[in-house]
């Protein structure tokens, strides 16, 4: 496949800057069609992003003969449905994260990918971001000695939309598991990338705020196949004083600290000193991963975030809140 002509199913907020424009910035790749159920919004997106065609029915986009690859950017509740339909139509799929609403759905997606021979790739883009790659390389090079443990702390207040229960991420029938599933999936998937598959995981999940149906506070512990152990605390109903965004890797000779979502400098603490390590952040945050996706479809490389790796993260999420 030399030229990749993309169609987006679900051209919502995540596609405005994080992903959408990147598809036309990569050699041999272009965005040719978008779909959204609201026809007016679909037409507006196509106009603003200079996309030739728009649809308000996913079937029409999947059946478009010019579209030869599909990006599924809807909420998780429809990831499996649209990805499976696209693969059965003979079109490779790049799907947003979490990969699906449930681990069972990820297995069905993988089955169809294998049966059809269509690639299934997932938007865990931290596997390709410079800051996260620098952290991974420093760990591999022994900058902090032998890794002892990992700790995640992600806490913040609820926003106005979440307090009313209107945010789709707080609705279990749409999100599959709430804000924890949406945000923690990025962090746990990255740790899978660095330390290998998580082979044991457990946790406790509660609703402290009462703003919505899904859990708003989660504590977890886990073990990677490499022997590295980890723990995490997530809460989305703290006040501003409780706000934290820390991914911490502690070793025998130092520790590394990085914000999962803030793009602040990578911090190295060693021998009583603190070092700030700066890195580039792409204008479109998914650019580097989308480039890998395109190159794989062109037969020139392999994407680091596959359906198989992403399904592992979905399994771990379910084990933690079980």
Question: How far is the CA of 255 from the CAs of 144, 155, 215, 270, 287, in angstroms?
Answer: 6, 21, 31, 7, 29
- The residue behind tokens 């196509």 is 46
Q: What total of structural domains would you count in the chain?
A: 2
Same domain assignment for residues 111 and 141: no
What is the domain-level CATH number for residue 247? 3.30.360.10
What is the tens place of the pLDDT at every residue in 172-202?
A: 999 988 999 999 999 999 999 999 999 999 9
The answer to whether residues 41 and 55 belong to one domain is yes
Residues 263 and 290 in one domain: no
Q: Give me the sheet containing 4-9, strands edge to edge.
A: 53-55, 29-35, 4-9, 69-72, 93-95, 120-122
Domain identity same for 221 and 101: no
Is 309 within the bounds of a domain? no
251 shares its domain with 199: yes
Rg (C-alpha) for the chain, rounded Å, is 20
- pLDDT for 77-107, tens place per residue? 999 999 999 999 999 999 999 999 999 999 9
CATH number at residue 49: 3.40.50.720
The predicted-structure confidence for 116-146, as pLDDT tens digits, reads as follows: 999 999 999 999 999 999 999 999 999 999 9
202 and 253 together in one domain: yes
pTM exceeds 0.95? yes
The reply to whether 134 and 268 lie within a common domain is yes
| pLDDT tops 70 at residue 1 | no
4-59 pLDDT tens trace: 999 999 999 999 999 999 999 999 999 999 999 999 999 999 999 999 999 999 99
134/205 same-domain check = yes
Percentage of the chain lying above the pLDDT 70 cut: 100
> Does residue 99 sit in the same domain as residue 78?
yes
Please give the residue range of the domain that contains residue 292.
4-124+285-301
Among 218, 89, 195, smallest CA distance to 149 is for: 195
Answer yes or no: is 322 within a domain.
no
Reply yes or no on whether the pLDDT at 266 is more than 80. Answer: yes
144 shares a domain with 115:
no
Q: Is residue 252 part of a domain?
A: yes
Give yes or no: residues 272 and 289 share one domain: no
Same domain flag for 53 and 153: no
Half-sphere exposure of 246 (CA within 13 A, CB side): 16
Strand ranges for the chain from DSSP E: 4-9, 29-35, 53-55, 69-72, 93-95, 120-122, 147-155, 198-206, 217-224, 229-235, 244-251, 254-258, 266-270, 273-277
Is there a contact between 28 and 4 (Cβ–Cβ < 8 Å)?
yes
Across the chain, mean pLDDT equals: 97
pLDDT at 176 (0 to 100): 87
């Amino acid at each position: 496949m030399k030229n990749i002509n993309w169609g987006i199913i679900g051209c919502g907020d995540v596609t405005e800057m994080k992903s959408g424009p990147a598809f036309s910035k990569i050699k041999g790749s272009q965005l040719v069609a978008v779909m959204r159920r609201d026809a007016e919004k679909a037409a507006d997106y196509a106009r603003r992003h200079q996309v030739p065609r728009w649809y308000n029915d996913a079937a029409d986009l999947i059946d478009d003969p010019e579209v030869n690859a599909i990006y599924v950017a809807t909420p998780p509740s429809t990831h499996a449905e649209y990805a499976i339909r696209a693969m059965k139509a003979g079109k490779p799929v790049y799907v947003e994260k979490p990969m699906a609403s449930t681990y069972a759905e990820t297995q069905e997606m993988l089955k169809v990918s294998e049966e059809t021979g269509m690639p299934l790739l997932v938007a865990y883009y931290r596997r390709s971001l410079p800051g996260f790659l620098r952290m991974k390389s420093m760990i591999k090079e022994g900058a902090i000695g032998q890794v002892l443990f990992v700790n995640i702390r992600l806490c913040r207040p609820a926003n106005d939309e979440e307090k009313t229960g209107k945010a789709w991420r707080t609705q279990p029938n749409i999100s599959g598991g709430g804000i924890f599933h949406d945000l923690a999936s990025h962090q746990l998937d990255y740790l899978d990338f660095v330390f290998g598959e998580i082979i044991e995981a457990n946790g406790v999940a509660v609703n402290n705020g009462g703003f919505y149906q899904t859990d708003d506070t989660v504590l977890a512990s886990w073990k990677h196949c490499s022997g590295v152990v980890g723990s995490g605390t997530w809460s989305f109903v703290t006040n501003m004083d409780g706000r934290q965004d820390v991914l911490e890797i502690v070793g025998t000779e130092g520790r590394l600290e990085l914000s999962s979502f803030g793009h602040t400098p990578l911090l190295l603490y060693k021998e009583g000193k603190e070092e700030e390590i700066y890195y580039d952040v792409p204008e479109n945050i998914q650019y580097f991963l989308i480039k890998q996706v395109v190159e794989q479809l062109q037969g020139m490389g392999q994407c680091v975030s596959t359906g198989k790796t992403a399904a592992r993260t979905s399994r771990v999420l379910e084990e933690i809140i079980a």
